[in-house]
Amino acid sequence: MTKIRRQIRCYGAVQGVGFRYRACHAADVVGATGWVSNEEDGSVCMEIQGTEEQIDAVLLMIERGAYVRIEQMAVKTIPLVEGECFFRER
């Protein structure tokens, strides 16, 4: 399975609703690595590394959370970070 890294910026009801907590938990469950952070414009940005399936699973787990409502996502593929071992809040 090929690993990829995506930078994903989510807009909508994404701050103050447990988004980062859910992202960390979901990434731990599926074995993805990277980070997630609240941005000043009200969005949440994350860089997540894993297989396409792992990344999709994390996004689905986040979206299933109560109160989280992702209205728009900006997604781009970026270079892998070698040696990264966990997913964290930033």
What domains can be seen in the chain, in order of their start residue? 4-80 (3.30.70.100)
Name residues whose C-beta falls within 8 Å of residue 23's C-beta, 6 or more positions apart in sequence: 36, 44, 46, 48, 58, 62, 87
Output the pLDDT for position 66.
Answer: 86
Q: Is 5 a catalytic residue?
A: no
Q: Are 8 and 74 in contact (CB under 8 A)?
A: yes
- Which of 5, 6, 20, 22 is the catalytic position? 20
Q: What is the pLDDT of residue 65?
A: 81
For 16, 17, 26, 33, 43, the CA distances from 54, given in Å and listed in that order, are 24, 22, 9, 10, 22
pLDDT tens digits for the chain (90 residues)? 899 999 999 999 999 999 999 999 999 999 999 999 999 999 999 999 999 999 999 999 999 988 999 999 999 999 999 999 999 999
Active-site residue identified among 6, 9, 22, 38: 38
Q: Is 9 a residue of the active site? A: no
Predicted local distance difference test score (pLDDT) of residue 84: 97
Read off the pTM. Answer: 0.94
